[in-house]
Structures are given as structure tokens and as C-alpha cells.
Structure 1
Amino acid sequence: MRTDLNLLRILLAVYETGNVTAAAKQLGISQPAASAALARLRHSLDDPLFIRTGTAMEATPRAQGIIERTREVIEIIDRDILTSPTFDPTTSEHEFVFCLSEVGEVVFLPALFERLRQAAPHARVRTISLAPEDLTESLHEGRVDSVLGYFPDLTAPNIYQQRLFSHNLACLIRSDHPLAGKPLSLEAFCALEHLQVRDGSRRQEMFEAHLAKAGIRRNIVLQTSHYMSVPSIIERSDLVVVLPRTVANLYTHRLGVSIVEPPIDMPPYDLKHYWHARFHKDPRSVWLRSLIAELFMSDTVG
């Protein structure tokens, strides 16, 4: 036997109020609709359920035998199924997993971790680096909460994205370099020996493609896969390196290096926040997106 669970609400309301009219008012439906529902339930259970005695409806033994279980079922449905889920960051012990590039960790992680520790003191944070082809599946499976940075290949239709801010590139040379403090011409830029960071990012590919389209060739004498050694190399040589401005700014605050503006008209690129459609309405994801937007959304190029 299959019974519409909504009919059980009629059973409970009639039992609690003592008549169909009052039950209909309690449930916010018409009296004829309540009477029809009660008739359907009587037919399903093959029992009158209630017998009129004067002005009240008296439950039959069958109705009395199932009323408590009916009340339990309705309470469970209302509390655990129909109630909208919530997320309390102050008590959450969730591990937030972010996919960030090396530069993304510099740009996002310090402020993001600080803010998360304030708002969700019991939560943990982990960052990983994944190839673009692995990102969509990891977001879909919930193994990654958010992707932050420049990921132009993350274009699947079930991936949401939100622009946070624009970024651009800068050149870095040692502070006592002969060209420090002077405008850098294209001729001087091409004549210099270059350090190139090939970190596998699409941002680097975009820059190289822009140079190739403009017919600009650099004299690259040193390649590295990471940014960690860049300032130490630059301050001890006459090399120049092109890198994200946020990273360049970080290095100038600590070491004997200086920023010079590149002589190439390089358009800025957008850094974005990506998440999967499966979790778009999830309260934890909604809260996290709001926190990230509050921290990073702006038109600033930096």
C-alpha cells in the first residue's frame, strides 16, 4: 500500500483539533479539500479513522494506534528534510580545500586564511595544485571547494565563475641596476638578459603568445619553475624578470630589487573564483563565496 504522506497531516490535524473544519484551517486548505483527503486516507487504510460523536470526531482504535508514529514521521520530515540546511562557521570543523597556483597562494592565501581563522576558528585549510583537466571533476565531487586565480580553461557549463579583480605584469631588476628608476624602452628590454619563470600557468602562455604576436624576442639566459629563488637571483645579477605585479610588490618590500614598467602594452587579466553548480545553493558554499567576494572583489589592478 502506498499512501501520500501529506494525507498523514490530515490525520494528525483532525486528531488534534477534533473536527475537519478546524483541521483544514490549521493546514491552510479548504474544508472540502480536507474532507476529500480524509476520505482518501480512509480508503487507503480501509478504516473510518474517526467517528462523529456529537460535534467532535472520535478516533477509532486504528487511528489511535498509528497517531504517535504519524506524529514522529511528520516531525522528522519537517525537521530533517523540509527545513532549509544552515551553516554555522563558528562551530564548523570543515576542511576548506582551495586549488591555487603558486602565484595564487601569494595573492589570495594570506588574507583568506586570516579571514577564515577569524570567522571559522575550528575549520582547517588546505591548498592544492591541479591540472585544468582535473579541476572540473574535483569540484564536482566536492574534493575542492573553490578555485581561485587565472584558469581560462575552466569553462565547463556546470562551473560557475565570478570575477574578483584584474591583474597585470611588472618587470623586476636589482635596485642598483643601471636602468633602475628610468623608463624601460622596448630596445633596452630586448637587449637585457632575461630570467623566465615557467610555472606551467596559462598566464605565462598568454604573455609569451603576446610577445610572439608582436614579433618581440627576449634573450632568456635562465629558466626556473618557481618564484622562490627569483629575488635572490635578480639582486645579484643584471637580469630582468617579468612576473605578476603582486609578486613583484611583495619582493620589493623585502629585498634589494626594484620594479620597472614593461615597455609592452600588455592587457590585464582577470582573476576569478570558480565553483561547481552542485554546491551553488549549499549553505557552506554560499557563505564561503560571500567571504571571498568581500575580501577580493574590486576593479583594482595590482
Structure 2
Amino acid sequence: MRFNKLDLNLLVALNALLAERNISRAAEKIFLSQPATSSALARLRAYFNDELLVPSGRQLILTPRAKELVEPVREILMRIDTTIAAQPLFDPATETRTFTLLVSDYTTAVLIPPLLEALYREAPGMRIRLRDQTDRPAEVLEQGEADFLVIPSQYLAKEHPSAALFEEDYLCVTWEGNTRVRDRLTFDDYLACGHVIATFINTHTNPLATFDGWFMESFDVKRRVEVTVPSMSALPALVVGTDRIATVHRRLAERARESLPVKLWEPPPRIPRLVQMLQWHKHRTNDPAIAWIRDKIINAATLV
């Protein structure tokens, strides 16, 4: 189909190229060969009378014209997907589509089990793909590569709807044989201990702060970090046998105490409660499947 002499099929290729900035990755994303994708780029360059992507070292960068096209092209394709391609009827009992959720390992541990149990009963053919949040979660949601994002409230994308799931606070975890922290945990103790923290790296190799890390940095609390790990749920086990300390979600800390020789303490720097949120793309609010799964996620959150 053509519109103003533009083959609209090329918009799919253009969206992939603008997002990936790499011909090979864009080709994989839209299930085309690399030569076919290169050919699509050549046709797009001719239509827009612009190079769109130009080499810079070993990578491609967007021209100013290409940068202007990123949001409009993404918006057009999302609208097509949600108004034309979306199924008007939804029957969970017979649904076989795959739905993608961007979640942390903490969310996977506390929220996903009751959700999967409910979905298994009511939508046994539905497939769920859990994807981590280390690769620009808001952008992945924008690109339509995920159906839902579960994330703390301060990281929400303002332009998309959301719903509160549950609240969480934090506890400090130490080994029961810790020689620095015995009867109580003071602020001085907290700063004196070496810390085990969770740190995540996104696709641009930038560290992503956890909620407690974001709070500490915001209020200039300097922790002496001795161990970093890409997992919140692993933190309690990593203080065992040491004088180190970890700041952990309360639910994870209390579970860890059931199987590990650890003690739990209220954090001396009072950390605000985390509000865990569910977010979805604004153009998919009225999608029957998205609405149904959204309600199931919100219901599962009452069980955590």
C-alpha cells in the first residue's frame, strides 16, 4: 500500500532501523534478510531525500531528519497495531498469544507466582514472557516490544497510564555472626559496614539505580560498596560469613531469614516506602486482552 508515493510497509523497516541503529539487528527484528533491509533503507533515503542513518566509527547515528521521525513513526505503527491488528474479541480460555512483562527479579519473586497461578487456571494457553528491565524499560514500552512494565512509581513514563499494585519498605540484613552489629543497628554502624548492593547495567552500559540506591544518592548518604550483584534477591545470602550489610525489600528479607543465618534490622536512614506500579501503553488501554491481564495483575498484587 502506498500513501503519497511511500510504500507503507517501509515504515516497519524504518521504525526498526531508527530503534536499533544497526542494519543486522533491525533485519532480525522485522524478520527480513540483511540485503532486504539494506534495500529498504536505500528506498527510504530516496523518499526522504536524506541519509537517515550515517556511519560514525563502527556504529550508525541518526541524522537530524531521522531524529524527527522517531516518535511519529512509532506512534503511527502503534495506532495501527491497536486499532486494526488488535482482535476485537478476547476469550482467555482459548487465547494463545504471548504477552511480555518487563519486571525486576524482585517482582518476579513476589508478584509473578500468584499471577501465573491465576493465568494457568483461566487462560492455560496464554504464554507469558518475562523480560528484565536492564534495557531502557520506558523505551521498550514505547516501541511496543512489551505489554506491561512493573516498576517503582518514580520511574514511570508520564505519558502512559498506570495503576498502583502494592507498597513495600526495606530492611537491613546482616549475618548473625556480624562482629560490628550486635544488639542494634546505628547510622554509624550502617556507614561503617561494607555494603552489598544490586546494580543493573542497561544496553548503553549505564548503571541503573535501585529504589534504595536512588534515595541514598538523592540525600547524599555515602555507602562503602564492597560487592555489587545484578540481583536483588541474591543480596541476603551474600552477607553470610562477613561483616557486610545489605538493604533489601522487606518481603525478600523475611523470606531469607527462614533459610539463612541472618538478622534483620530497620534501616537507620529512613527509606520511603516503595510504590510498585503497573504501566501499559496509552494506545492499548482499550485492548480487551490488555484490560483482562491488567486486572489479573492487579488482583495478584493483593496476594503478595
Letter in 2 for 1:139: L
Cα pair 2:106 2:233 within 8 Å, conserved: no
2:242, 2:217 → 1: CA distance? 27
Equivalent in 280, 298, 304 of residue 293 of structure 1: 298
2:176, 2:277 → 1: CA distance? 33
CA offsets 1:221-260 (integer angstroms, 9 cap, x no match): 3233334643332122121111222221222222222211
Letter in 1 for 2:222: R
Give the alignment of 1:1-302 within 5 angstroms: 85-131=88-134, 133=136, 135-136=138-139, 138-150=140-152, 152-157=154-159, 159-178=160-179, 182-199=183-200, 200-212=208-220, 216-227=221-232, 229-297=234-302
Cα pair 1:169 1:242 within 8 Å, conserved: yes
Cα pair 2:180 2:193 within 8 Å, conserved: no
Q: Secondary structure at the match of 1:247?
A: helix
Deviation of the 1:103 alpha carbon: 2.0
Q: Secondary structure at the match of 1:162?
A: strand
CA offsets 1:160-191 (integer angstroms, 9 cap, x no match): 11111222221011134357773311122222
Q: Secondary structure at the match of 1:135?
A: helix
1:145, 1:276 → 2: CA distance? 7
2:233, 2:214 → 1: CA distance? 22
Larger radius of gyration: 1
Cα pair 1:145 1:275 within 8 Å, conserved: yes
CA offsets 1:131-167 (integer angstroms, 9 cap, x no match): 574534x43554311111226343242x111111222
Cα pair 1:174 1:257 within 8 Å, conserved: yes
CA offsets 1:63-110 (integer angstroms, 9 cap, x no match): xxxxxxxxxxxxxxxxxx9xx933211111121210012222223222
Deviation of the 1:288 alpha carbon: 0.8
Cα pair 2:233 2:252 within 8 Å, conserved: no
Structure 2: 5+ residue runs without aligned partners? Answer: 1-83, 201-207
2:188, 2:133 → 1: CA distance? 38
Q: Secondary structure at the match of 2:272?
A: coil
Once the two structures are overlaid, the 10-residue window that deviates more, 142-151 or 227-236, is 227-236
Once the two structures are overlaid, the 10-residue window that deviates more, 185-194 or 279-288, is 185-194
Aligned to 2:17: none
1:242, 1:235 → 2: CA distance? 14
2:278, 2:118 → 1: CA distance? 16
Cα pair 1:198 1:204 within 8 Å, conserved: no
Structure 1: 5+ residue runs without aligned partners? Answer: 1-80
2:166, 2:233 → 1: CA distance? 24
Alpha-carbon distance change, 162 to 296 in structure 1, aligned in 2, over 3 angstroms: same
RMSD: 2.7
